[in-house]
Amino acid sequence: MVKKLDILLYGYGNPGRKDDGLGPILVDLVEKWIIKNEIKNISIDSNYQLNIEDSYTIRDYDIVIFIDASIEEIDDFIITRVEPSDKVNYTMHSASPSFVLNLCNKIYNYTPETYLLHIKGYEFQLQEGLSENAQRNLESAYEFIKSLLVKPDQLVVNLSARLPE
């Protein structure tokens, strides 16, 4: 019997800042879908931002997919591979996925297969609710994530096929 991969979906961002909440909103949707479909090997987490303590959290998973809003010039969403990096942000109140992954490697001698799903956002002012365009992008990203999770044994292959060249 093949071991099921332990997967963590970790959305981060502030739902009180319009489209910045795309990450937490997506993981909330996926959590409902996971419960409905009784999937046991996928865990969900979310926060306003990543912290150094998240290196402890990700050490227990085979695959980690961070999910965040993006202001980059992309269509609806894009997924990228995360490589460990010791580059520190301006403050330590927030850490990048690369930095969290690097800490996991240094502290626990483990580096899970890690990706970042960037969902295009447009409005980031202090207000709850997504913009219309971000809502459409959320729906596209949700369908993409569900298509990956229904075949967890093919997850890495399917993710790799979506990576930009």
Q: How many CA atoms lie within 13 A of 91 on its CB side?
A: 3
- 18 vs 94, higher pLDDT: 18
Distance separating alpha carbons of residues 104 and 110, to the nearest angstrom:
6
What is the model's pTM? 0.92
Contacts of 95 (CB under 8 A, 6+ apart): 49, 50, 51, 52, 54, 89, 103
Q: Do the Cβ atoms of 82 and 39 come closer than 8 Å?
A: no
- Average pLDDT in the 116-137 region? 96
What are the structural domains, with CATH classification, of the chain? 7-158 (3.40.50.1450)
Question: Residue holding tokens 């994530």?
Answer: 145
The DSSP element (H or E) to which 126 belongs, if any, is none
Q: What is the phi-psi region of residue 13: left when phi exceeds 0, alpha when psi lies from -120 to 50, beta otherwise?
A: left
pLDDT for the residue numbered 161 = 66
pLDDT in tens, 12-52: 999 999 999 999 999 999 999 999 999 989 999 999 999 99
pLDDT band at 92 (very low <50, low <70, confident <90, very high): very low
Contacts of 50 (CB under 8 A, 6+ apart): 10, 12, 66, 94, 95, 96, 97, 99, 100
For residue 3, is pLDDT > 80? no
Q: Do the Cβ atoms of 89 and 76 come closer than 8 Å?
A: no
